[in-house]
A = this chain, B = another copy of it.
Amino acid sequence: MELLKNKILEEGRVLGKDVLKVDSFLNHQIDVELFNEIGKEFKKRFQNKEVTKILTIEASGIGIACITAQYFNVPVVFAKKHEATNMDKDNYEAEIFSFTKNKSYTIKVSKKYILPEDKVLIIDDFLANANAASALISVVEQAKAEVVGVGIVIEKGFQNGRKVIEDKNIKLESLAILESMEDGKVIFKKLT
């Protein structure tokens, strides 16, 4: 997606070998106009799929999921990462190991909001090793619902997230795929 790739080149900042900071438009300040183009692109890429619900994870996934949901006319459900007061007791749970924080945490989704008949599109901002995506897939599987695909804004193509998801025979669409970020320079994979 050219618009997104140009935005990454203009405003993204590479930290170290594998961190891309995009907080000016994606995960702290939010460029809602760009999100609308992202939403349209996800609709185009999953146009042959029946989708009844979009599942994401707090916090940065929520904005992308909500704007995208307008093009599918479906509700969004977001998995909770943090202990929430008033959370139901009856939840699907899955563990995520965070490499950056070097610890595991548990995500929760109320059993009321993913039903066996749901056809779920998973949306998230980043894909690296697919730890978050795998946990969201696990939630959908526990609910005996169907994952119709995973839509990612920025994929770190030099990590193994794509393999993890495609090995489960799930369609993965990433709007920008990073081939490398060496010497502070972002190189995209040609196909994206």
* A residues adjacent to B (C-beta < 8 A): 15, 19, 21, 23-25, 28-33, 35-36, 58-59, 62-63, 65-67, 69-70, 73-78, 80, 82, 85-88, 100-101, 109-110, 112-113
As for how many copies of this chain the complex holds, the number is: 2
**CB pairs A–B below 8 angstroms (27 shown):** A19-B85, A19-B86, A23-B86, A23-B88, A23-B110, A24-B112, A28-B78, A28-B113, A30-B65, A31-B75, A32-B66, A32-B74, A32-B76, A33-B73, A35-B66, A36-B70, A58-B58, A59-B59, A59-B78, A59-B80, A59-B82, A63-B65, A63-B76, A67-B67, A67-B70, A82-B82, A85-B101
* Contact call B66/A30, Cβ cutoff below 8 A: yes
A28 to B159, CA, bound (A): 30
Please name all residues of chain B whose beta carbon is closer than 8 Å to the beta carbon of A59 when the two chains form the complex.
58-59, 62, 78, 80, 82
* Contact call B75/A32, Cβ cutoff below 8 A: yes
A75 to B63, CA, bound (A): 11
Given contacts A62-B63, A70-B36, contact A77 B31 (CB under 8 A): no
A110 touches which of B28, B63, B69 (Cβ 8 Å): B28
Interchain nearest-CB distance for A189 vs B (Å) = 23
